[in-house]
Amino acid sequence: MKWVVDLEIFAGRITSTGFSSGDRIVIGDWHDSPIGSFTNIMWAKPDGARVLLSPSEKHAKYVSELYNFESVEITDITVNRTRRGISIEGGGLSVDISWGIALPIPIWRPLWFIATVEAFFARMLFGTKTHGRTKNNRREWYSIRSISRVLNAEARFDGHELGGSESFTTNACFGFSEPPSMPASVSLKSYIE
């Protein structure tokens, strides 16, 4: 019997929103991970094409083995953070997002709790999954520490506005879980076995 689970742990923030253009953007801002600190952008376009904007080949290889994309672009990504906001630029895409006061979850929960009790409430309240299998059949758990509603979001691609922030009305289909349907920013740890 296997008593110890070897886990790769990513700690950081995921911020996501849809836009009136039909574009859906998910920003992963990881301050600690097995592949270092990095920020990437998962972008689902109105035609359904899924794009990963990644800061390096190493990060792109790791992430594209876990999640589904039609194209992967290696590009410099400039990131500016505030206490309740993030701005990114890369690959012709520019995104500014700010969020409100966080609803905190005061303790980290065990993986069995995330996969059972927490999974039930996440699906009911936010339409998300907290546990599942990645594209390459690894197990992953999302342990949320806080969630904030996005108050304002603006995005441009090659100078063209993507419209106002909107809830996800169409799934982005990057992986087993979708971001919350409402525009949100969550602090979390992702555990990958």
Residue 173 pLDDT > 90, yes or no?
A: no
Mean pLDDT of the residues in the chain: 93
Cβ neighbours for 48, distance < 8 A, ≥ 6 positions apart: 173
Helix, strand or coil, per DSSP, at residue 183 = coil
Of 1-5, 36-40, 101-105, which gets the smallest average pLDDT? 1-5
The residue among 181 and 74 whose pLDDT is bigger is 74
d(C-alpha 66, C-alpha 12), whole Å: 17
Residue 5: per-residue pLDDT: 64
Range of the domain at 81: 8-192
Alpha helices, H only, the chain? 57-66, 111-115, 117-126
The three-point CA angle 116-122-126 to 5° equals 165
Residue 1: per-residue pLDDT: 39
DSSP 5-20: ---EEEEEEEEEEEET
End-to-end CA distance of the chain: 16
Residue 2 placed within a domain: no
Residue 136: per-residue pLDDT: 95
Domain count along the chain? 1
Residue 119 placed within a domain: yes
Exposure class string for 122-160: b at 16+ Cβ within 10 A, else e = beeebbbbbbeebeeeebbbbbbbebbebeebbbebeee
Q: How many CB atoms lie within 10 A of CB 2?
A: 5
Residue 90 placed within a domain: yes
> pLDDT tens for residues 118-160?
999 999 888 899 999 999 999 999 999 999 999 999 999 998 9
Residue 46 pLDDT > 60, yes or no?
A: yes
d(C-alpha 77, C-alpha 98), whole Å: 18
Residue 56 placed within a domain: yes
Residue 187 placed within a domain: yes
Residue 166 pLDDT > 90, yes or no?
A: no
Residue 86 placed within a domain: yes
Residue 1 placed within a domain: no
Residue 3 placed within a domain: no
Instruction: Read off the pLDDT band of 6 (50, 70, 90).
Output: confident
